[in-house]
């Protein structure tokens, strides 16, 4: 299908040019007329210079310039914090606007936000992503959509700019539920591998061969196949996704299980361990650095 001319496509606003928001917004800029806003104005100015996107001075001004507004902030509370006040999104939304929230947020908060927007005649879709900053650059993210059919149809048109697998999971909040559970499993894998590899190192098995055997055996995972070889064994630890955000995601999944009356002893313990790692390593540590806590405790380094 051929693309409509640029002026006939929906205008998009993107708020939150962080580690993953920036490359996602850059993909949107290739397909749609784009306006961006970032809390720290310098980030938006540099993005505008690099991509030709317009820069808005406030969330309100960003919303005024678009039919579809995307947010990608650390938490749902941060998204809620942009809604109100004279410079807020609600003051700027055009009639029938759609908010597509790519934050890895909380289902309950999303339902709250959606209800407020619906009362003002606007739509809401939760659209968290998976695939990391590399996936955002390549346009190969998985996008998990929660919302009403009509809104999801409209959201799909825009998120295809950075998404490859785009899945509509159900009503508002289901995208966020799916994302939280995915990241909870990622967290459990990271924590388990930290224990396993340090125990093996102490038992005299070198980390390189240990990871090689795991990856040819049934104990393998994305963490053992990709994260540990690329980031831990090499000692590179590139900053792509903050441990603080993984802790937040595991917490959302635990809350969800609680609300649904589902026992979750493994997840509850993972949340505690992540909180401890976050306290030790700080707010800027990358997620895979959680293994440094195991390394320090065992007095080993998991390098090839």
User: Looking at residue 287, what DSSP letter applies?
Assistant: G
Binding segment (CB under 6 A) for ligand NDP, from list 60-68, 71-79, 161-169, 197-205: 71-79
User: Does 10 engage in binding with ligand NDP (CB under 6 A)?
Assistant: no
Q: Which of residues 140-199 bind ligand NDP (CB under 6 A)?
A: none
The span from the CA of 222 to the CA of 298, in Å, is: 24
143 SS3 class: strand
Binding window for ligand NDP (CB under 6 A); candidates: 111-119, 127-135, 195-203, 262-270: 127-135
Considering the rule CB under 6 A, would residue 106 count as an interface residue with ligand NDP?
Answer: no
The SS3 assignment for 47 reads helix
- Residue in 9, 10, 11, 39 binding ligand NDP, rule: CB under 6 A: 39
Is the separation of the CB atoms in 104 and 248 below 8 Å?
A: yes
Alpha-carbon distance of 258 to 187, in angstroms, equals 18
Total count of residues recorded for the chain: 304
Strand partners of residue 143: 129, 166
| Beta carbon nearer to ligand NDP, 105 or 194 | 105
Q: Does 71 bind ligand NDP (CB under 6 A)?
A: no
**Residue 232 contacts by C-beta under 8 Å, 6 or more apart in sequence?**
207, 288, 291, 302, 303
Q: Check residue 43 for interaction with ligand NDP (CB under 6 A).
A: yes
Binding of ligand NDP at residue 38 (CB under 6 A)? yes
The residue (of 87 and 157) whose beta carbon lies closer to ligand NDP is 87
Phi and psi torsions of 146, nearest 5°: -130, 125
Among the listed residues 22, 27, 179, 278, the single catalytic one is 179
Strand ranges, E, within 183-223: none
Q: Which residues does the annotation mark as catalytic?
A: 179
- List contacts with ligand NDP (CB under 6 A): 16-21, 38-40, 43, 72-74, 78, 81, 103-104, 129-130, 132-133, 240-242, 245
């Amino acid at each position: 299908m051929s693309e409509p001319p640029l002026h006939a496509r929906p205008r998009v606003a993107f708020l939150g040019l962080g580690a993953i928001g920036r490359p996602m917004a850059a993909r949107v800029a290739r397909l749609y007329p784009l306006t961006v806003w970032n809390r720290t104005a310098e980030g938006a100015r540099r993005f505008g210079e690099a991509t030709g996107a317009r820069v808005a001075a406030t969330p309100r001004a960003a919303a005024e310039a678009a039919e579809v507004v995307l947010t990608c902030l650390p938490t749902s509370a941060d998204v809620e914090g942009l809604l109100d006040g004279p410079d807020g999104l609600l003051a700027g939304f055009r009639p029938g606007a759609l908010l597509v929230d790519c934050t890895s947020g909380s289902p309950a908060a999303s339902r709250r936000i959606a209800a407020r927007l619906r009362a003002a005649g606007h739509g809401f879709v939760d659209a968290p992503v998976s695939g990391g900053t590399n996936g955002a650059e390549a346009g190969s993210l998985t996008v998990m959509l929660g919302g009403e059919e009509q809104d999801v149809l409209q959201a799909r048109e825009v998120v295809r700019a950075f998404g490859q697998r785009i899945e509509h999971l159900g009503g508002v909040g289901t995208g966020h539920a799916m994302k939280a559970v995915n990241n909870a499993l990622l967290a459990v894998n990271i924590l388990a591998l930290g224990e396993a590899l340090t125990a093996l190192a102490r038992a005299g098995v070198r980390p390189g061969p240990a990871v090689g055997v795991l990856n040819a055996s049934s104990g393998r995972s994305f963490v053992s196949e990709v994260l540990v070889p690329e980031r831990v064994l090499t000692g590179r630890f590139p900053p792509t996704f903050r441990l603080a955000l993984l802790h937040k995601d595991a917490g959302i999944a635990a809350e969800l299980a609680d609300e649904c009356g589902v026992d979750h002893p493994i997840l509850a313990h993972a949340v505690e361990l992540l909180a401890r790692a976050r306290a030790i390593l700080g707010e800027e540590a990358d997620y895979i650095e959680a293994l440094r806590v195991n390394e320090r405790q065992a007095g080993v380094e998991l390098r090839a």
